[in-house]
Structure 1
């Protein structure tokens, strides 16, 4: 399908227009480019009736796609069984892809030719079933859960247009928080020496217990609005409230073929329906192994097997994305099981996607990985397996649940050798055993010579890095005692993450962050002398909630303080007012690591640089000798002089790091 040139970013000349009503100039009178529309509707404006998500602060509009594809090798993980069949297995991989969208998204007809641009609902399809899953996870009767989620988030939609064309333009300076939505209709020049079209960085996001691929949509789409292609996985390891695994319909024998391919099993009912249903798995005889008060400790066998399954899902998603990046998107669309006729699918599926625009659109050799809670524990294990995940360049762990993390193996390679950023909630910071675990990860990273940062967002709770505090702010404020504004908590997490990635990565992602991020210098916050005790809860509430003494007065004072500090020149607080820093790599150490990393990544280029430096030094010395000789002997310089030969023999001008 061919889209308008303004949507694709291609020049109008490529459309081959040679005739028009005005003298054959090929121009349309008073033609205007389609302008991106904000992804809003009436339901987004009626916040008192229906929860809604915020718009995203970056310079790009955001698109999304739902993709579920069968894996090449269906298999099981561990010997754990329930109801006579294996509990942990991989048959398909499911994820939502958030990405920077082209100028014109939301205007005119959508890529599928429909008049109304579609947005996916926050509660994944089938919504009633997923609501029941949340109820089971929270211990709420199914009908109550359906009524509650139906009344609060049943109609909530993501602020991303489905199947929108991917962006092909560089953004201008600034972001939509400072410049308004109009910035999403503008483009900037490429960086010096850069390509005309950016190649975006890729980021994987792993959700925590009770999460889904859309439960962190604000975080993921914020990254996408700053130029990241974000793969938000839905893990089928029994860590989500409820998910559905489709069987491919291949002559009615999709599930039997999968069983023949690998060690997976299905009930007769699952084969008849054409899908498996996976609910949250509570460990046997120890259902609350996540609690700090749990005396039995974590269920090591289950959690280790879940992490191994999660790593396999990341590998499978990576294969799918490599296929899309290498021009195989049409085949992925053909194999996609989130389309009409499959549970959780829709009539739109991936209709209208111009897959040629995705060829070489994002990097697959420099990938960032991030996760929250149990997802963060997954990321730690991934980072410790650098040989297996050689394409990963950095990791971010949000409020990690440290209990499932095992000590590193004796093999020195089983250590974290890549840059690592940890961002805690204040609620988890008071959980001393968990704080010790995450601090040990920072030490492990520093011992391997890589940059490491650990900070806490003041007034935040464990859910502050997900959509839940935004969709249910009063519950999180009054019952869990969060004192930070939900949207501000997201802003702080995103700002710190982008500052980190700007400092430890190279390429288009770094260039976009440098020109678009409002730098709050969060990672330059001074280290704490001692752990604060401001909102430490009673022992029974550790990690679950905060304690707010004199609550009314405290909240009112904080509100006035925020208002006053917003009037400052930079429009944000000083970092220490909102973030505590526990561990960081100083600027000189960071600079040394960057230089060393460049030499290791491209020794040939560094060798050329050194050769050039030596030749320039030799040239300068020769010039000084010739000047002395000329002044004493008064001899004119000729083109046959050693100096001239040296300059003629110089290697060509080398590109800078930003140009390469």
Structure 2
């Protein structure tokens, strides 16, 4: 009996010691573990607004949830987070929050969602605590519901220098904008980007990347997908009722005939494509400004929405996404140029390796950027070939496509995670490129592509020739890279076809 008591006491001491050590690390030493999101890279302040609007109900797939019998793929509202360029609000700073919480509220919803995703729903409280511990103090920089940047301010910012005489320039630019709008021109209006998150991701998971693009003069809508690919989200109906959408697996669904894994992915991608289309329609509604946009998101302000009237360049709408979202981007580009998808190009970050077949029917420019991890660690892609080769062949078949790899990065490098918990992500992913440098490279190259879509100019890394077409399969000679704007190494696999008068590619 005495021996058993001693064993119990020793274990208890070890347990309490371990718990105290963890408590010290995570509570008293949080400063080196958690870092705030850095300032955006552009010249403009950034406005942030969570927005949910009612849609005409439609069913994307007839599958139902086993637990409730409800349609699993019924689209009835659209939820997005808007990032947009803004000037500082002229009224009291206390009238608007100067930052948005990075974690969606309530945190318990996301914690339970990740516990379900991991297959351990009973441990939801542990997941919730971990999220609260690592993300509760993190905020997305920007002014909630700030006024959108005026055309006069945009024109002024684009001019070289803005010292003395700025007020006169603003007045002159405002008059110019008024005259141009009367002639139905696009001077001073803002191009748009729709962004779609990856599997198990959320709309705010890419806040620094998207907010930085917005700070350079773009209106960005990050879609909060309700296709069952995220950890959890809430649909808010106009009558005040709510419905939770959790991460979906095949065993959660009933359909006739039963769904396969590819069927599930096809349904989710079709759902995402519909949400992208509805986001572009929302851009058009905001730009028209005639019908008020009703925001169903609880406690979300909406004073800035009328200011979007005549501020959006609907001829310059691009779609971007990461992982599962990048697969969705490539699918959406099949319909580019149609009334439902009036988009001018796409940005695909790490197209998914297990999120369904990749569309190759693309008639608009596309930029495919892969992390070093995504390129180096290859796997068979649905029996077609290695993933890298499948992607390369698709981009090579297009008239205007770039395919490149950012060395030293991992799959999450374009997200906020490496910025918030840098050394933890570095330890887990084995990245060698500084997380802030990686994000700046992704941002800068994305901006050069967005600029190309409007001007046709190939600046930055986009102006490079091919350095290594074979990627990880090049063994006959050393691989070559080109330097990015912040000193990182890019491996260029595919660039747009060159006309006869432009010479040939250096491969």
TM-score (norm 1): 0.60
Q: Give the structure 1 partner of residue 361 of structure 2.
A: 415
Residue 309 of structure 1, CA deviation: 0.8
Q: Give the structure 1 partner of residue 47 of structure 2.
A: 63
**In the aligned structure 1, how far is the partner of 2:408 from the partner of 2:168?**
37
**In the aligned structure 2, how far is the partner of 1:305 from the partner of 1:186?**
54
> Which of residues 420, 424, 429 is equivalent to 2:370?
424
**In the aligned structure 1, how far is the partner of 2:273 from the partner of 2:41?**
31
SS of the residue corresponding to residue 56 of structure 2 reads: strand
SS of the residue corresponding to residue 63 of structure 1 reads: strand
The alignment of Structure 1 onto Structure 2 pairs a total of residues equal to 437
Q: Give the structure 2 partner of residue 393 of structure 1.
A: 344
1:147-166 to 2 correspondences below 5 Å: 147-166=129-148
SS of the residue corresponding to residue 335 of structure 2 reads: coil
Question: Is 1:326 aligned to 2:288, yes or no?
Answer: yes
SS of the residue corresponding to residue 88 of structure 1 reads: strand
Aligned-CA RMSD value: 3.6
Say whether the 8 Å CA contact 1:203–1:230 is kept in structure 2: yes
Residue 279 of structure 1, CA deviation: 1.2
> Which of residues 264, 276, 279 is equivalent to 2:246?
279
Seen in structure 2, the aligned counterparts of structure 1 residues 132 and 587 have a Cα distance that, compared at 3 Å, is same
Structure with more strand by fraction:
2
Seen in structure 2, the aligned counterparts of structure 1 residues 138 and 328 have a Cα distance that, compared at 3 Å, is farther
Residue 244 of structure 1, CA deviation: 0.3
1:382-413: per-residue Cα shift (whole Å, max 9, x none)? 111233544110011000104444365xxxxx
Question: Is 1:128 aligned to 2:108, yes or no?
Answer: yes
Q: Give the structure 1 partner of residue 266 of structure 2.
A: 304
Seen in structure 2, the aligned counterparts of structure 1 residues 144 and 210 have a Cα distance that, compared at 3 Å, is same
TM-score (norm 2): 0.77
Residue 437 of structure 1, CA deviation: 4.2
**In the aligned structure 1, how far is the partner of 2:192 from the partner of 2:284?**
11
Moved more, 117-126 or 583-592: 583-592
Moved more, 361-370 or 90-99: 361-370
Question: Is 1:208 aligned to 2:164, yes or no?
Answer: no
Residue 424 of structure 1, CA deviation: 0.5
**In the aligned structure 1, how far is the partner of 2:137 from the partner of 2:168?**
31
1:42-61 to 2 correspondences below 5 Å: 47-48=31-32, 50-61=34-45
**In the aligned structure 2, how far is the partner of 1:590 from the partner of 1:404?**
40
Q: Give the structure 2 partner of residue 72 of structure 1.
A: 56
Say whether the 8 Å CA contact 1:442–1:453 is kept in structure 2: no
Say whether the 8 Å CA contact 2:467–2:492 is kept in structure 1: yes
1:115-172: per-residue Cα shift (whole Å, max 9, x none)? 4534221111222322332333345622211221111111211111111010111253
Residue 530 of structure 1, CA deviation: 4.2
**In the aligned structure 2, how far is the partner of 1:438 from the partner of 1:388?**
32
* Structure 2 unaligned residues grouped into runs of 5+: 1-29, 162-166, 182-186, 254-258, 475-482
Residue 283 of structure 1, CA deviation: 3.1
1:501-540 to 2 correspondences below 5 Å: 501-506=450-455, 520-521=460-461, 523-524=463-464, 526-528=466-468, 530-532=470-472
1:86-485 to 2 correspondences below 5 Å: 86-102=71-87, 104-105=88-89, 108-110=91-93, 114-115=94-95, 117-138=97-118, 141-168=123-150, 169-170=153-154, 172=157, 198-249=188-239, 274-284=241-251, 299-328=261-290, 331-332=292-293, 335-338=294-297, 345-346=298-299, 348-350=300-302, 352-353=303-304, 355=306, 357-386=307-336, 387=338, 389-406=340-357, 415-429=361-375, 430-433=377-380, 436-437=386-387, 439-448=389-398, 450-485=399-434
Seen in structure 2, the aligned counterparts of structure 1 residues 521 and 379 have a Cα distance that, compared at 3 Å, is closer
Say whether the 8 Å CA contact 2:96–2:143 is kept in structure 1: no
Residue 281 of structure 1, CA deviation: 1.4
**In the aligned structure 1, how far is the partner of 2:492 from the partner of 2:485?**
21
Seen in structure 2, the aligned counterparts of structure 1 residues 186 and 373 have a Cα distance that, compared at 3 Å, is farther
SS of the residue corresponding to residue 90 of structure 1 reads: strand
> Which of residues 557, 579, 583 is equivalent to 2:490?
579
**In the aligned structure 2, how far is the partner of 1:109 from the partner of 1:591?**
55
Residue 221 of structure 1, CA deviation: 0.6
Residue 70 of structure 1, CA deviation: 1.2
Bigger Cα Rg: 1
**In the aligned structure 1, how far is the partner of 2:434 from the partner of 2:261?**
35
Say whether the 8 Å CA contact 1:369–1:394 is kept in structure 2: yes
Q: Give the structure 1 partner of residue 5 of structure 2.
A: none
Say whether the 8 Å CA contact 2:35–2:422 is kept in structure 1: no
**In the aligned structure 2, how far is the partner of 1:79 from the partner of 1:136?**
20
